[in-house]
A and B are shown apart, each in its own frame.
Chain A
Amino acid sequence: MRTSELIAALAADPVPEPVHLGRRFFGAAALGVLGALALYLVFVGPRPDFAEAVRTIRFDLKFVNAAAFALPSLMLLFRLARPDARPGALALWLFAPLVLLGAAVAVEMMVVPPGQWLSRLVGDNWMYCSTMIPMMAAPILAALIVAMRAGAPLRPGWTGALAGAASAGAAALLYASHCTDDSPLFVATWYPLATLVCAGAGALLGRRFLAW
């Protein structure tokens, strides 16, 4: 087929409804979070001493951290929906939660005697943390992948991995209110592990569904 012949076929093809990527992306993200919230309310729920916990810095830091990761990763993901995306300074924001968490771990190791490090790191809920976060992230990841399919991301695998990580960040925001392990040592170990699980799943989904 000559290119001029292909062009004739393309020109005869009807015009589809324009897609507003922003509306679609953030609509999907909201829908996914609602799904995660439903799972949270049914299976997870807030910890019993939630009201007192809010007044401790370790507890609050978990939310700051999760938000500091979830927001820039979602924004970056949205940007990558376009082929001519320039990640720019937004990508650097992904380092913010790492720096924050690193500093928190350093402080924790200064104020807590070395004998307690390991028990704080392992905590009581490590198994729960590394399964509940991926479980609540699943509906968010699914919604994000569906929304990104409308776009044209250049690197399907990496984009999918970022979608997985972003969904884990949002799920961690919910999970943090349930978990009684507040030590940065715990948070810096198990939350990233759960995020890696989600990023791996996202990479697989991305390679399968985001190529175009």
Chain B
Amino acid sequence: MSAASVEGPPDDPWSSMMKAAIAGDEGVYRRLLEEISRSVRAMARAAFARARLGDADVEDAVQETLLAIHLKRHTWDPSQKLSPWVNAIARHKIIDAMRRRGARRAEPIEDFEEFLAAPAEEDPHALSDAKRLIETLSPRQRDIVRSISLDGQSIAATAARLSMTEVAVRVALHRALKSLGAAWRSSLS
């Protein structure tokens, strides 16, 4: 584990954002995930650089972290701050990603608060594992994930196009995201 984490401001914006997200505010949730992805990206870049791994797989670590946060968000304890929780998950997933690239002994990884000053933008040319892993989904799930993520369609539009109910689309999307997480995990071993 790395040195003591830098404590965030007392009125911790991320924690309130996550509370709003869990209460159902999609817009806030999207903004929170974007902020988290920038911080985790900076954290992953530094860790990869220190292990002398190229930048190519940083985005995988970021996406895997986001998916893990997403799939576990309902178990986060709202009486605690969000950032230590996110830090722990990010560190765990970054180490996984580095091991997959053959890094043997992980150097300590700094909490992302160390990088907050310079939030990193995504490398637009990076290819990610997610693209490959989506191929492992069932055709219907793949269609729904693509429609909502790549084509930026709404749940309602996707449901209309596939002549499904919105509830069915949401259920299928949720299943697809869960199996994406499982596929990621099994690509480890």
- Residue from A83, A150, A151 whose CB has the most chain B CB atoms within 10 Å: A83
Q: A1-B149, A1-B150, A3-B63 are in contact. Are A16 and B85 (CB under 8 A)?
A: no
* Number of residue pairs A-B, CB distance < 8 angstroms: 112
Kindly report which residue of chain A lies nearest to residue B176, judged by CB atoms.
A9
Q: A13-B177, A84-B87 are in contact. Are A3 and B75 (CB under 8 A)?
A: no
Pair A11/B145 contact, Cβ less than 8 Å: no
Distance between B23 CB and nearest chain A CB, rounded to angstroms = 8
User: Among A17-25, A105-113, A158-166, A183-191, which stretch is in contact with chain B?
Assistant: A17-25
Q: Give the contacting residue for B149; candidates A5, A19, A84, A211; CB below 8 A.
A: A5
Pair B74/A16 contact, Cβ less than 8 Å: yes
Tell me if B43 is interfacial: C-beta within 8 Å of chain A.
no
Q: Give the contacting residue for B122; candidates A3, A12, A15; CB below 8 A.
A: A3
Pair A11/B75 contact, Cβ less than 8 Å: no
Pair B74/A15 contact, Cβ less than 8 Å: yes
Q: Which residues of A contact B185 (CB under 8 A)?
A: 211-212
Pair A7/B170 contact, Cβ less than 8 Å: no
Q: How many chain-B residues does the 8 Å CB contact rule pick out?
A: 52
CA distance A14 to B148 in the complex (A): 13
Distance between B72 CB and nearest chain A CB, rounded to angstroms = 5
CA distance A21 to B23 in the complex (A): 18
Q: Which of A51-103 contact B (CB under 8 A)?
A: 81-84
Tell me if B24 is interfacial: C-beta within 8 Å of chain A.
yes
Pair B37/A3 contact, Cβ less than 8 Å: yes
Distance between B33 CB and nearest chain A CB, rounded to angstroms = 5
Distance between B102 CB and nearest chain A CB, rounded to angstroms = 20
Tell me if A122 is interfacial: C-beta within 8 Å of chain B.
no
Q: A3-B122, A84-B88 are in contact. Are A13 and B174 (CB under 8 A)?
A: yes
Cβ-closest 8 pairs across A and B? A5-B149, A83-B88, A9-B149, A84-B88, A1-B130, A11-B30, A84-B84, A16-B74
6 other contacts beyond A1-B150, A3-B128, A15-B74, with CB at 8 A cut-off? Answer: A1-B128, A10-B177, A11-B27, A151-B72, A152-B75, A212-B68
